[in-house]
Amino acid sequence: MQEQAFIIEKDQLFSWLEKLQQEFLLIGPKKQEEGGGVAFLPIKSVQELDLNYTLTMMGPQIYLYPPEETICTVWRKDDGGFEVRMREEVPRQVLFAVRSCDLQAILVLDKVFLRPGLEDRNYRLWRENTLLIGLHCSSIHPQCFCASMGSGPFFEPRQGYDLLLTDLGQIGYLAETLGERASSLLAALKAQPATQTHFDQKRQIGHYLLTQFQKSIDTTHLVEVLLKNQDHPVWSQTADQRCLSCTNCTKVCPTCFCYNTKDTVSFDLVRCERTRYKDSCQELHFAQVHGANFRSTRSSRLRQFVTHKLATWVEQFGCFGCVGCGRCMSWCPTGIDLTQMAKEIMVSEGLYDRRRQT
């Protein structure tokens, strides 16, 4: 795939985004009012963008896989038959300033929703109509451990995005394009090509960021250790003492993809709308099947979340289901931290020294 690299001055980037707004809906990090933190929101003016954010509660993937959306409508025709209408189009949008962990989360969702033969139609529509622009972090959130999960602080895969930006300070942004779409959209800028010096600067920033992590986890034996310890006391101790089954962890996790559907039928029985909405393995009803529930305890549900993200996902999709963003522990009302549970198990296996700080 075509790759190019340029240097874009900071003012140039904003005027380029303003031009893009004539064709695309711009979604980016924006400071909310009344202390609400930064969130990915539609941007009216580029001045609203907050490019120094470290963590948003909801990841940008909600604009590719909305928490609730209509799948189809079914109409009863005059001749007694039915007509199924699928969604045919979505707005063209730019997802701007997506961090490395969230780019990785989108790659994970691609594996789920774009599997050959099992493609999700709506996800494909959103993905094809979205220009994805990454912006590498300049600082590290205390709960982030993306370096341990191989998903940051800089995004290494050469796939899944259109443009990847690294802030080089006064020089501007190193802009790495992938594919023709980004190259052609950038052409009007007449930006200077990047040189080896710029890539060396990028590498230095990456090395510095790697020294800033406060949280880490050793993934070397993680999969086998978690699978071997399905009955470890950490599951019931943590769940019984602290888990509220509130589902926050799964709601904010950028790779959680489980959904349920509901049908709404019009009063005259002419129209039926099928909607899907994000579901959660932390809900009691989730594992209710034919009168029996195979995860009726909080500990079994919590274990499901942690072992899926850090172990069984690897067998299912060939990668971890956790990108190390730190959202689940940041928005868990009792601060339950999946890395701490995993470390507790590693301690009992003699693979981790409890005196280590991170």
> 3-class SS at 80?
coil
Shortest spacing between CB 331 and ligand SF4, in angstroms: 7
> Hey, what are 159's tokens?
């796939």
Q: Does 38 bind ligand SF4 (CB under 6 A)?
A: no
Shortest spacing between CB 318 and ligand SF4, in angstroms: 16
Site for ligand SF4 in 277-306 (CB under 6 A): 282, 302
Q: Does 243 bind ligand SF4 (CB under 6 A)?
A: yes
Shortest spacing between CB 197 and ligand SF4, in angstroms: 35
Nearer to ligand SF4, 246 or 272 (CB): 246
* DSSP result, 160-197: S-SEEEEE-GGG-EEEEEESHHHHHHHGGG-PEEP-HH
- Single out the residue of 32, 245, 288, 316 in contact with ligand SF4 (rule: CB under 6 A): 245
Where does 43-126 show beta strands of DSSP type E?
A: 68-76, 82-86, 93-98
Site for ligand SF4 in 317-346 (CB under 6 A): 322-328, 332-334, 336, 338
Nearer to ligand SF4, 109 or 302 (CB): 302
What is the side-by-side order of every strand in the sheet holding 38-42?
38-42, 25-31, 93-98, 130-135, 163-167, 173-178, 3-8, 192-193
Shortest spacing between CB 94 and ligand SF4, in angstroms: 23
Place of tokens 């003699």: 350
Shortest spacing between CB 95 and ligand SF4, in angstroms: 18
97 close to 49: Cβ distance less than 8 angstroms: yes
What is the rounded distance in angstroms from the CA atom of residue 28 to the CA atom of residue 98? 8
Site for ligand SF4 in 81-110 (CB under 6 A): none
Place of tokens 């904010």: 252
31 close to 194: Cβ distance less than 8 angstroms: no
Nearer to ligand SF4, 14 or 259 (CB): 259
Residue ranges that bind ligand SF4, judged by CB under 6 A: 243-249, 252-255, 282, 302, 309, 322-328, 332-334, 336, 338
